Structures are given as C-alpha cells and as structure tokens.
C-alpha cells in the first residue's frame, strides 16, 4: 500500500465513522500520511484525528479511538496504535517486499511524481503547476555554485512533475527555444565557469525526455531566482564529483567549505560513504551471482533492515521537499542516511562460511539492490557519478 493509497484508506475510515453516526464532521478532502515522528511507531502516521477534534467537539485522543477500529480491519493494515495527543500510527503488512518491488520496478525514477516526464496530468510541485506545458523559470547569477545549484534544482523539479527553464543573469547567449538540447548540451552559459559545472542557458523539456520542451511558448507559473552563498575558493581543484558535492551539500544560505576533506576516502567523508555504499551494492550482486543466487523481494529479518527500509521509504518525501524548497542539500543529506543504513545492513546479505543461500538471503540482496538503485538515482540528480568499483 503506497502513501497515496493509505491516505485514501484513512479518508474511507473517517467516512465510515461519519456514516455510522460516531462522528459529526465533514469528511476532509485529504488526509496527511507520513513517517512517524519522535515517539511514534509503525510504518506511517496520520494527524487526521487532531484535525477533526475541534469540528467534532471531542478530544483528539477520543477521535483517534473512534477511527482506530475502522482502520484496523482494512486489508494490508496489521496494526493501528495511538501515540501522543492522538496520532494514528499504522503498521502495514508486507511493507518490505512491496517497497523493494516498487523501487526495483521504477528503477532510478523511484521517488518521481506519478506521470512526471510521461505526459498528461502529474502530481506536480507545490506552487509550480501540475500540467505538461506549464513552466517554472529559474534565474541564477553567473557564479559557479549558483550555476550548479540551478542545474540540479531543475532536475529535481522535473522529477516532481514541473517543467523547467533556466537562465543565467548577464549571459550573452542562450540556445534558441526551438532547440531541444540535453542538459549537458544546454548552451554556453557564463564563460568562466569550469566544464564540470555544465552551465545552463535556457533548458527546455519534452514529456518523456528530460531536458527538452515541446511547447516553448508555455506560460511561466513560477519565477524563481537562486542566489546561494558562493564559495570563498575555487572548487575546480577538487574535481567534478567532489566539487559538486562541496557546493550542493551545504544549505544554500551556508558558505561551502572547499577543502581536501571531500577527497579523503574514509568514513568521515559523507561523499565517500555514499559512493562506497553504492559500490558495495554492486559488489554484493556480483558476489551473489558467483554463489548462484539473485535478489528476490521478501520479508526482511536482517539486522538493520528496518532502518534501511525507513530510509528508502522516506526518499520520495526527501525528493519532494528538495523540490519544494529548491534545496539540493536535502537530497544530498538523505543519500547519506540511505548509505549509512546500507553499510550497517550489508553484512547480513551474503551467506557465511558453508551456509547455503536461502530465501532470507535473496530478500536481503533485493533490499540492498533497491538501496543501490536509490543511491544511483539520487547521485544522478546531483550530477555525481555512482562508481561500480571503489
């Protein structure tokens, strides 16, 4: 059950309670569902009881008690707990297999809004429109961090259904809107920026092909100027991947640290952990193939599986938040969370000694491969390579 499906399930539970005369409220149009907060439990939590308490004239905890039996009997829901003042915490059956299957099926497009890049109606980005042909205009100064940030923000916005055009202030030339270049060929941009920054002039978009637009005259529904704090030093000596990470990982209002710490291959370097974690998922797949088995989604029992599932489940939320706030750092930080969870989990994936591969090993391998898919997709949005070997 996806978060969207669960939200509908919660609304149906409210409707049943209203129809039974247990609650005298108007059924809301939406029910917010997300990861449980501090002190929560289960797979998802909703605050619908707190929202309905005042119109119902009852305490939130009492409203939650009324709604709980209407949720508990739904197929796919194994448990409903009430925490805090009245949060409903929902545990789903088969979350692990369903989540892993969904990630492996979607590939690097996991976390993208439904319909993004596929034409027609999309869920879109809040405040950015949600139909093909509506545009977000991104402006940025002719400065390396702003250029890189604009490129990545454009990619993230597109992943959530927005159509994006970018322009560089004081740029002498931009490609014709009749052209349909890829992101890496999107115009000369500001001359002094290094090649790895892939400076953007006007980037356009066609449904089904990120980087091109079929309707150059589409109306702009959101006009944004990105002005992140520029670095104090030239990041070029760090090389493409480390330089991009150094520029994108800090919050836009923080000044990036341009130091050799981004090149160090050890645990203290977050970029190294993310890239190493992806390389480990590829190594696990190769080693499993040598042992004669492949990954198959199934129930998870490995140490650290819950934390890794949570990190993967939260990836779409992190991607949507990065789009909503135009903040690539949110995506970068979540990739670190996924990587750390994978590195803690990886030791249980392969059989030890004379142990034969079992269904549990196949399920763990599928989970590790799903983590690798998310890491590769996130690094691709940041414009950073995901190495097979490291």
The span from the CA of 347 to the CA of 358, in Å, is 15
Closest of 291, 292, 303, 290 to residue 368, by C-alpha = 303
Q: Give 58: exposed, middle or buried? Use CB within 10 Å, 0-12, 13-18, 19+.
A: buried
Lowest mean pLDDT among 39-43, 214-218, 350-354: 214-218
Residue 49 token pair: 């009881």
Q: Among the listed ranges 35-39, 268-272, 291-295, which one has the minimum average pLDDT value?
A: 35-39
**271: phi then psi, degrees, rounded to nearest 5:** -60, -40
Q: Please state the rounded mean pLDDT for residues 37-57.
A: 85
**Sequence-ordered list of residues with C-beta below 8 angstroms from that of 196, at least 6 positions apart, any chain:** 236, 239, 240, 243, 244
Q: Are 364 and 300 in contact (CB under 8 A)?
A: yes
Cβ density class 161-191: b for 16+ within 10 Å, e for less? bbbbbbbbeebeebbeeeebbebeebbebbe
Separation CA 144–CA 192 (nearest Å): 9
Per-residue confidence at 169, pLDDT binned at 50, 70, 90?
A: confident
| Cα first-last separation, the chain | 36
Give the model's pLDDT for residue 173.
37
Structure confidence at residue 44 as a pLDDT band (50, 70, 90): confident
Residue 258 has pLDDT above 90, yes or no: yes
Flag whether pLDDT at 131 surpasses 50: no
Residue 116: its pLDDT value, please? 60
At residue 273 the predicted structure's pLDDT band, cuts being 50, 70 and 90, is very high
pLDDT value for 191:
41
CA distance 161 to 381: 14
Which two structure tokens, joined as six digits, stand for 279? 């390389």
Torsion angle of C-alpha atoms 342, 348, 352, 358, degrees rounded to 10: -120
Instruction: Measure the CA–CA gap between 201 and 190, rounded to whole angstroms.
Output: 8
Q: Dihedral sign for Cα 112, 254, 227, 275, please.
A: negative
Instruction: Write out the two tokens for 313.
Output: 């489940």
The reported pLDDT for the residue numbered 91 is: 82
User: Rounded mean pLDDT of 309-318?
Assistant: 88
Q: What span, in angstroms and rounded, lies between the C-alpha atoms of 160 and 378?
A: 13
Cα 42 from Cα 378, distance rounded (Å):
26
Q: pLDDT, tens digit, for every residue of 212-252?
A: 434 444 566 778 889 999 999 999 999 999 999 999 999 99
Token pair listed for 303: 């140490």
Could you give the residue ranges of the DSSP H alpha helices within 82-199?
Answer: 95-106, 144-159
pLDDT on residue 196: 57
What is the pLDDT averaged over residues 64-82?
86
Average pLDDT over residues 181-197: 42
User: pLDDT band at residue 113, thresholds of 50, 70 and 90?
Assistant: confident
89-117: average pLDDT: 84
């Amino acid at each position: 059950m996806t978060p969207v499906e669960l939200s509908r399930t919660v609304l149906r539970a409210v409707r049943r309670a209203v129809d039974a005369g247990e609650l005298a409220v108007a059924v809301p149009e939406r029910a917010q569902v997300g990861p449980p907060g501090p002190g929560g439990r289960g797979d998802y939590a909703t605050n619908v009881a707190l929202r309905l308490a005042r119109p119902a004239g009852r305490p939130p905890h009492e409203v939650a008690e009324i709604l709980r039996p209407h949720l508990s009997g739904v197929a796919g829901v194994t448990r409903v707990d009430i925490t805090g003042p009245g949060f409903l915490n929902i545990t789903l059956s088969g979350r692990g297999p369903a989540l892993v299957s969904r990630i492996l099926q979607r590939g690097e497009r996991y976390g993208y809004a439904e319909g993004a890049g596929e034409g027609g109606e999309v869920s879109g980005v809040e405040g950015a429109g949600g139909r093909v042909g509506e545009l977000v205009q991104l402006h940025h100064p002719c400065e390396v961090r702003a250029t890189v940030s604009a490129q990545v923000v454009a990619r993230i916005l597109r992943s959530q259904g927005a159509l994006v055009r970018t322009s560089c202030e004081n740029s002498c030339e931009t490609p014709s809107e009749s052209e349909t270049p890829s992101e890496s060929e999107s115009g000369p941009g500001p001359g002094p920026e290094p090649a790895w920054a892939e400076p953007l002039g006007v980037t356009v978009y066609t449904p089904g092909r990120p980087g091109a637009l079929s309707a150059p005259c589409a109306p702009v529904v959101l006009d944004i100027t990105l002005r992140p704090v520029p670095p104090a030093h030239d990041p070029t000596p760090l090389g493409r991947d480390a330089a991009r990470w150094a520029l994108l990982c800090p919050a836009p209002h923080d000044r990036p640290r341009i130091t050799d710490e981004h090149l160090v291959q050890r645990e203290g370097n977050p970029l190294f952990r993310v890239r190493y974690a992806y390389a480990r998922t590829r190594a696990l797949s190769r080693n499993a193939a040598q042992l004669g088995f492949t990954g198959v989604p199934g129930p998870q029992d490995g140490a650290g599986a819950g934390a890794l599932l949570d990190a993967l489940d939260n990836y779409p939320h992190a991607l949507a938040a990065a789009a909503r706030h135009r903040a690539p750092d949110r995506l970068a930080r979540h990739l670190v969370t996924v990587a750390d969870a994978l590195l803690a989990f990886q030791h249980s994936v392969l059989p030890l000694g004379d142990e034969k591969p079992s269904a549990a090993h196949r399920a763990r391998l599928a989970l590790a491969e799903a983590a690798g898919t998310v890491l590769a997709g996130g690094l691709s949005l940041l414009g950073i390579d995901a190495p097979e070997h490291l």
